[in-house]
Amino acid sequence: MGLAWTAIAAVLVARAGLYPAVMTGDEIWFSESAIELIRHGIPQRLIHHDAVGSAIADFLPPVIMLVQALAFLALGLTPGAVAAQSVAAPLATVVLLFLIARRGGASVTWAGLAGVAVLGSPAFLRADIYIRYEALVALCLLGYLLATRLADGGARAGPWHAVRGLALALAGLSYYPMAPFVGLAALVFELMRWRARVEPLAGCLRGLAIMAAGFAVPALLFAAYVLRYPDIFAAQVLGNGSSNYLIFELPRRLLDRDFWRQSADALPELIALAVFLIATCWHRRTLSPWARSLHAAAVITSLPALLFPFYPRLLAVPVCLVLLILADWSTAPTPGLRRFGRMALSLGVAAAAASCVLMTTTAIVQRDARRYDVVAAALDRLVSEPGAAAIDQRAWLALRAADPTRELDHVVPAGASPQVRIFESTVLRDPAGGDHFRYVVLDAADAAATIAATPALATAFAAHRFVEIGRVAPPFHALPWASQAPYDLIVYERRD
């Protein structure tokens, strides 16, 4: 098992070292905020001088940002630091699944396979490889579960109760919309513990008090930060959430082919997960209390996929919980459950092996196309004069590292959802704002559409105020599963 984990770690490190098209999403938002936290003591996204105050105080869920800040302190402002979380989070999840399954009674072999199988889940990989909120929600909830098992099985339970509370608070702070569902899932496990308690009532209450104290530490720190900027918190989180999240997208568009086209790789897993959770309801009485609690928690944490804008990564948490159910079934006294659990885990490991093969092949075949040092060198040469730059996120690291004081404004791509577009800088929403920028750096794939969707750029480009001065496009060999070049940037400069 140790050899398998070592091989998985090597694959993830190699992938992150080459940074294959990771730097295109939320990790840049969190990285910008982390850099400003290190420099000024306040998380700020200066790439978003928006109407909701992101350049003053950033209220995106803070846990990923704090992890990014630790990575920058350890590794500097480098591609490896930005991508470090995409290595650490999957590996930590694999280990936690193994440890929890072992505490639940699974053998070393099947507990190990349950941990490895998570890497065969497209939903999980979308969350962890691309450094999304759901990855740390899953990780922190698993941390809570492990601490709960350890608190129930040891003489020195006090510290583990504190860890339980701390992990649960961090799970909620990792992604606000999922916090109520994480809390309900935790309540399921607390009720299981209460029903099965063997210690005196006073001991149970003492454990809950210590857990509450552990929960209070991050919760009170975050509350103090919110009280410092209540209006900004309300605009970024409460207003955005109430307007753009509770939309029931999956039920409304269940039969829409265009809706599924962008998530085709996750469709089989989604169907299998839904069938599993529904079918398991009919056999709940035959399950152990631990498996029943896992099943209830998996159902609860699946609800965000039905209520919110749908992304397969929302299913990362229930996928982890289902793997723990399968690990529990691998040693079940019922032959049918035992066979099914072992077969499902074996299929998951096969899928994980296939994922690792694909990542390794991609890293080898597309190595030159995914080397960020080549991209950074080209951008340093082209963006050489002082002045503000409107940029695609792929250009952020090179330009921020080259000149930390340069004003960078993120151009939100065409077709971005409303909950993303509210963070675009106000100067980019102003039709007269184009002359504010010396440079514009856009992804070639959607440059025309993005210019048209951005009032400042639409006006300036229509007046021929910008001219193309270069293109950053390392040699790229397409693969069936990786057919889009990770870096193909067009650099424009304003005519003077």
Of 197, 107, 112, 108, give the one whose Cα is nearest residue 148: 197
DSSP labels, 132-201 = -HHHHHHHHHHHHHHHHHHHHH-S--HHHHHHHHHHHHHHHHH-GGGHHHHHHHHHHHHHHHHHT--S-H
CA distance 379 to 272: 45
Of 355, 385, 356, 457, give the one whose Cα is nearest residue 122: 355
- Domain range annotation of the chain: 2-28+56-364, 368-494
Provide the pLDDT for residue 198. 64
> Mean pLDDT per 10-residue run, the chain (496 residues)?
64 56 67 94 94 94 93 89 86 94 92 92 81 90 95 79 96 94 95 79 85 96 96 88 71 77 78 92 86 95 87 90 95 90 93 85 83 89 94 91 93 85 93 95 92 95 95 88 85 92
H/E stretch holding 489: strand 489-494
CA distance 164 to 9: 27
Provide the pLDDT for residue 242. 65
Burial degree of 78 (CB within 10 A; 0-12, 13-18, 19+): middle
- 91 to each of 127, 326, 432, how far by Cα in Å? 13, 20, 48
User: What residues form DSSP beta bridges with 468?
Assistant: 492
Provide the pLDDT for residue 244. 65
H/E stretch holding 471: strand 466-472
What's the start-to-end Cα distance of the chain, in Å? Answer: 63
Of 269, 281, 276, give the one whose Cα is nearest residue 315: 269
The answer to whether 16 and 53 have CB atoms below 8 angstroms apart is no
3-class SS of residue 328 = helix
3-class SS of residue 493 = strand
Of 101, 149, 173, 116, give the one whose Cα is nearest residue 321: 101
The answer to whether 215 and 168 have CB atoms below 8 angstroms apart is yes
Backbone region of residue 21 per phi and psi (left: phi > 0; alpha: psi in -120 to 50; beta: other values): left
Provide the pLDDT for residue 190. 92
